[in-house]
Amino acid sequence: MKNINVGLIGFGLSGQVFHAPIIDCTEGYVLKKIYTTNEKNIEIAQEKYSAEVCSNVDDILNSEDIDLVVVATPNESHYEYAKRALLKGKHVVVEKPFTVTTKQAEDLIKISKEQSKVLSVYQNRRYDSDFKTVKKIIESGVLGKIVEFEAHFDRFRNYPKNYWREENIPGSGILYDLGSHLVDQALYLFGTPNKFFADIRKQRSFAKADDNFELILFYDNLKVTLKASMLVKEPLPKYIVTGENGNFVKYGMDVQEEHLRRGLTPNTYSPWGKEPETANGILNINLNGIDIRTTIQSECGDYREYYRELYSAIVEGKRVPVTAEEARNTIYILESATQVNCDIIQFIPYK
């Protein structure tokens, strides 16, 4: 089996939790180099991995041994690192959100095609147990025609922290952070909308960047509502799917992030990505006059699926998971939402 040598640019939360351990546990990949200048993160990388730890990003970009560059840096730098890697002839994975602007996304797509290199965006929440379960329910047809879909990504923290994501800089705030997941999931399920509405807010008195949003995507005979907040103490449903036959309601979060933060990996913990039965969703429908209310066992989540699909794309020429074009559509909605708040926006397909 051919190995893909990986250079990881960035070793903060994303690099440490969502990329390095998953790459390390996925057959066909070798984590060769990690770029970070943070002393604490250097120690963590050296302790956990055999990869060379670099303090100069050019050690990765200029290396002939590196096949794939994974960009896991703050959002504002995604474009520059991805562009440099593509121009060096590398395949590239960019942590979500893809870029800050649609123009940047379109530029990277153009370069990747000119270089004949794979460009993909790490929308790992497509591989969450809850979303995989929702997708399976919708595709099964048991709900009948879907008329409304609502998804939440809520948290609670009513005090400030020194996070770059909460500073007033391009690409910061909850819309780009968590909205990139929710929008991607909606577009993955239903395609691009005809129009959309955006309400972006700063609710906490100390907030420098947006910490609450509501997006409504309008399709033919379908309404999709996406919401996130930093002030939700009592858990709300993560997903509410309504069809002509009834509803599917799902609470709880996928367990992979929690396990990865605790240092567990697919190689050290089994069954990986399996939710507790208490997190199973509720299906409540009426079929042919018969009421049915039952729990639905959650699918197992597995972020390795993304890297397995990426391997097939790079080595075998198969479909790229989370194409750059799909990610560009997500960025188009996020960027438009920040520019025209509390208004209806026409979705204009890229030509």
Give the whole-number percent of the chain exceeding pLDDT 90.
Answer: 95
The answer to whether position 78 is within a domain reads yes
The answer to whether position 41 is within a domain reads yes
The answer to whether position 310 is within a domain reads no
Asked if residue 134 and residue 88 are part of one domain, the reply reads no
Find where tokens 């990277």 sit. 108
Average pLDDT over residues 52-59: 97
Among candidate residues 163, 157, 153, the one with its CA nearest the CA of residue 204: 157
The answer to whether position 329 is within a domain reads no
Asked if residue 113 and residue 92 are part of one domain, the reply reads yes
The answer to whether position 351 is within a domain reads no
Distance CA 39, CA 47 (A): 12
pLDDT at 345 over 90: no
DSSP one-letter string for 75-125: GGGHHHHHHHHHHTT-EEEEESS--SSHHHHHHHHHHHHHHT--EEEE-GG
The average confidence (pLDDT) of the chain is 96
The answer to whether position 312 is within a domain reads no
Structure token digits, residue 83 = 């562009």
Asked if residue 140 and residue 67 are part of one domain, the reply reads no
Count of CA atoms in the C-beta half-sphere (13 A) of 235: 9
Asked if residue 134 and residue 111 are part of one domain, the reply reads no
Q: Please, which pLDDT band fits residue 351 given cuts at 50, 70 and 90?
A: low
pLDDT at 246 over 80: yes
Asked if residue 131 and residue 18 are part of one domain, the reply reads no
Give the whole-number percent of the chain exceeding pLDDT 70.
Answer: 99
Asked if residue 340 and residue 272 are part of one domain, the reply reads yes
Find where tokens 């057959």 sit. 27
Q: Please, which pLDDT band fits residue 340 given cuts at 50, 70 and 90?
A: confident
Q: Which domain holds residue 143?
A: 125-302+334-346
Structure token digits, residue 44 = 């963590």
pTM above 0.85, yes or no: yes
pLDDT at 349 over 80: no
Asked if residue 69 and residue 218 are part of one domain, the reply reads no
Structure token digits, residue 162 = 């020194």
CATH of the domain at 289: 3.30.360.10
Asked if residue 109 and residue 129 are part of one domain, the reply reads no
Asked if residue 34 and residue 180 are part of one domain, the reply reads no
pLDDT value, residue 305: 98
* Higher pLDDT pick, 241 / 1: 241
Asked if residue 200 and residue 102 are part of one domain, the reply reads no
Domain tally, the chain: 2
Asked if residue 278 and residue 158 are part of one domain, the reply reads yes
Among candidate residues 281, 301, 302, the one with its CA nearest the CA of residue 293: 281
pLDDT tens-digit readout, 129-165 = 999 999 999 999 999 999 999 999 999 999 999 888 9
CATH of the domain at 55: 3.40.50.720
The answer to whether position 321 is within a domain reads no
pLDDT value, residue 346: 85
pLDDT at 350 over 80: no
Last residue of a domain, one of 123, 142, 168: 123
The answer to whether position 313 is within a domain reads no
pLDDT tens-digit readout, 60-83 = 999 999 999 999 999 999 999 999
Q: CB-based contacts of 14: which residues, under 8 Å, 6+ apart? A: 72, 95
Asked if residue 82 and residue 66 are part of one domain, the reply reads yes
- Find out whether the peptide bond into 170 is cis, omega within 30 degrees of 0: no
pLDDT value, residue 22: 98
